[in-house]
């Protein structure tokens, strides 16, 4: 598989740093950003990169010719600025298979082989790498269906009503050759506005959700954060070819206030300190998931759509405080039937209802989680037994039901007053990077 790096921009947001140095050669933790990118692409088995240059392109070309690189690099320089998509048209006839496309101001650690496999399975023309972030309120948000098909993008400048899924376009893609073939040579165009939007309208864009590290260093503040993450090992450790550590959270009584049979978004309220605790996990070496039983669907108190809207409210509230969940799952089933008004379709003995481990097993496979180095956190003995069944460590919090009498006899590994104390127990002074 080939890759293409769009490295022709002026990098004006970096101010004086790019006055005489092209953006691709800005030093990040002592090495050119291009060096970081080529190294990571090579780690995914990519053997050839097409480098689209423009502003100060000669300096980039000299760097390529004078340095030993981990893969083959082909150079294409724009005679005039053609935007983030215009230069891609020059690849027509040069690439005949799907390829990786990334921007030149990204630091990333991504297993592109996994992403390419998902692209091939979906039949997409464009697969965009998507992830939650800590500032969704000023980011363009992806709207996708449950299969990952992108239905639209809510721009950060748009007035937003209601709740949202925290899912952001990270600026890395897998493109099919037909995308290049659809471009007009020599015509200036914007990739997201003019190309991605057109393929969204045709139903040919899919989102690949990942927890891997992708961050642009296009401002001095972001550059400093990226350097810090590189030095702490966060960037390399987030690559999904490496085993991940995770904290699986129950929802009601752990993240939000416990309400008996909570069944509408209006009833959901974050517990004090919960967003800050999840934010600490986001900054650590742990992934953060929510897995919850929601039998309110089986009881016919609400629909699947109602639970999904409640979860969107949870994401919206967390995002407003700079925190996010890497992913969520819920079980709508209940094994006992025969109650008046129940929804019989969901009255089944499933594999996803805790303390069974179906939700955890699914997330562990998607995100390559080492369950033996991970935690299950919840407010009942059901969560403790789930940890035992999944082979995880357990922490029982006293912020919800603290179920009495206990339904299961499993003993928690630790107890904590709330999620904030839980995260302190998990991370300790070292911040989790141990």
Task: Give residue-wise pLDDT tens across range 313-365.
Answer: 999 999 999 999 999 999 999 999 888 899 999 999 999 999 999 999 999 99
Coil, helix or strand at residue 184: coil
pLDDT (average), residues 407-430: 92
Residue 153 contacts residue 198 (beta carbons within 8 Å): no
Whether residue 18 is predicted with pLDDT greater than 60 in this model: the reply is no
Angle at 316 between CA 311 and CA 238, to 5 degrees: 85
Angle between helix 358-367 and helix 381-390 axes, rounded to 10 deg = 50
CB 125, CB 199: distance < 8 Å? yes
Euclidean distance between CA atoms 247 and 286, whole angstroms: 7
Nearest-angstrom CA–CA distance, 119 and 175: 9
* pLDDT band at residue 229 under the 50/70/90 scheme: very high
**Is the bond into 355 cis (omega within 30 degrees of 0)?**
yes
pLDDT over 60 (residue 432):
no
Q: What is the rounded radius of gyration, in angstroms, for the C-alpha atoms of the chain?
A: 23
Q: At the top level of CATH, which class does the domain 2-232 belong to?
A: alpha beta
Residue range(s) in the chain whose domain bears CATH number 3.90.550.10: 2-232
User: Is 190 among the catalytic positions?
Assistant: no
Q: Cα(230)–Cα(238) distance, rounded to whole angstroms?
A: 11
Q: How far does CA 289 lie from the centroid of its chain? A: 11
Predicted pLDDT at 434: 39
pLDDT given for residue 35 in this prediction:
96
* Averaged pLDDT, 41-59: 91
Which one of 2, 105, 111, 250 is the catalytic residue? 250
- Give residue 32's pLDDT: 93
| Active-site residue, selected from the candidate residues 2, 229, 252, 326 | 252
- In angstroms, rounded to a whole number, what is the distance separating the alpha carbons of residues 284 and 100? 28
pLDDT value for 374: 98
Residues of the chain with CATH 3.40.50.1000: 243-430
CB burial class (10 A; 0-12, 13-18, 19+) of residue 80? Answer: exposed
Residue 250 appears among annotated catalytic residues: yes
What is the rounded distance in angstroms from the CA atom of residue 104 to the CA atom of residue 3?
A: 12
pLDDT at 198: 95
pLDDT, tens digit, for every residue of 114-126? 999 999 999 999 9
Residues pairing with 138 in the sheet: none
- State residue 433's pLDDT score: 43
Under DSSP, the state recorded for 270 is B
- Position 392 scores a pLDDT of 98
| DSSP string across 306-338 | HHHHHHHHHHHHHHHTT---SEEEEE---S---
DSSP calls for 113-175: HHHHHHHHHHT-SEEEEEE--S-GGGS-EEEE-TT-BEEEEE-TTS---S-----EEEEEEEE
Average pLDDT (126-143) is 94
Q: Which residue in 232, 220, 206, 34 sits closest to 130, CA to CA?
A: 206
3-state DSSP assignment of residue 248: strand
Question: Is 14 a residue whose pLDDT tops 80?
Answer: no
Q: Would you say 74 and 48 are in contact if contact means Cβ atoms under 8 Å apart?
A: yes
Greater model confidence, 19 or 55: 55
Best CA proximity match to 39, nearest among 235, 283, 240: 235
Q: In what order do the strands lie in the sheet with 327-331?
A: 327-331, 286-293, 245-249, 375-378, 393-397, 414-416
- Which run of H or of E encompasses 426? helix 419-427
- pLDDT score of 279 more than 50: yes
CATH number of 243-430: 3.40.50.1000
| C-alpha dist (Å) from residue 66 to 59, 63, 69, 77, 222 | 11, 5, 9, 17, 29
Is the confidence at residue 311, as pLDDT, over 90? yes
The percent of residues in the chain predicted with pLDDT above 90, rounded, is 78
pTM exceeding the 0.85 threshold for the entire prediction: yes
């Amino acid at each position: 598989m080939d890759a293409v790096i769009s490295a022709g921009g002026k990098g004006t947001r970096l101010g004086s740093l790019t006055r005489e140095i092209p953006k691709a050669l800005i030093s990040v933790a002592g090495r050119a950003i291009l060096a970081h990118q080529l190294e990571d692409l090579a780690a995914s088995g990519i053997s050839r990169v097409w480098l689209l240059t423009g502003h100060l392109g000669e300096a980039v070309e000299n760097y390529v010719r004078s340095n030993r690189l981990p893969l083959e690099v082909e150079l294409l320089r724009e005679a005039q600025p053609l935007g983030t998509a215009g230069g891609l048209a020059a690849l027509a006839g040069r690439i005949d298979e799907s390829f990786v496309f990334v921007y030149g101001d990204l630091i990333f650690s991504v297993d592109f082989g996994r992403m390419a496999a998902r692209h091939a399975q979906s039949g997409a023309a464009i697969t965009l790498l998507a992830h939650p972030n800590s500032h969704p309120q000023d980011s363009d948000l992806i709207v996708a269906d449950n299969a990952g098909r992108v239905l639209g993008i809510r721009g950060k400048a748009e007035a937003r009503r209601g709740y949202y899924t925290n899912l952001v376009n990270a600026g890395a893609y897998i493109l099919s050759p037909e995308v290049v073939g659809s471009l007009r040579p020599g015509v200036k165009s914007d990739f997201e506005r003019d190309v991605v939007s057109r393929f969204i309208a045709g139903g040919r864009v899919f989102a690949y959700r990942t927890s891997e590290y992708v961050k642009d260093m296009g401002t001095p503040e972001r550059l400093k954060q990226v350097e810090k993450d590189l030095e702490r090992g966060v960037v390399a450790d987030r690559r999904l070819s490496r085993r991940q550590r995770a904290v699986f959270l129950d929802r009601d009584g752990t993240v939000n206030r416990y309400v008996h049979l909570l069944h509408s978004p209006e009833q959901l309220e974050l517990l004090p300190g919960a967003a800050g605790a999840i934010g600490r996990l986001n900054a650590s070496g742990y992934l953060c998931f929510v897995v919850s039983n929601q039998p309110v669907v089986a009881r016919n108190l609400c629909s699947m759509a109602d639970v999904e809207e409640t979860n969107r409210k949870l994401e919206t509230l967390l995002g407003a405080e700079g925190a996010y969940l890497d992913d969520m799952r819920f079980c709508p089933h209940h094994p006992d039937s025969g109650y008046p008004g129940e929804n019989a379709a969901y009255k089944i003995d499933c594999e996803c209802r805790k303390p069974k481990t179906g939700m955890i097993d699914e997330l562990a496979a998607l995100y390559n989680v080492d369950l033996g180095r991970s935690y299950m956190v919840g407010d009942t003995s059901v969560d403790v037994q789930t940890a035992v069944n999944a082979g995880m460590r357990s922490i029982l919090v006293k912020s919800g039901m603290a179920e009495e009498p206990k339904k299961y006899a499993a003993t928690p590994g630790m107890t904590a007053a709330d999620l904030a104390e839980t995260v302190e127990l998990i991370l300790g002074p070292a911040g989790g990077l141990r």
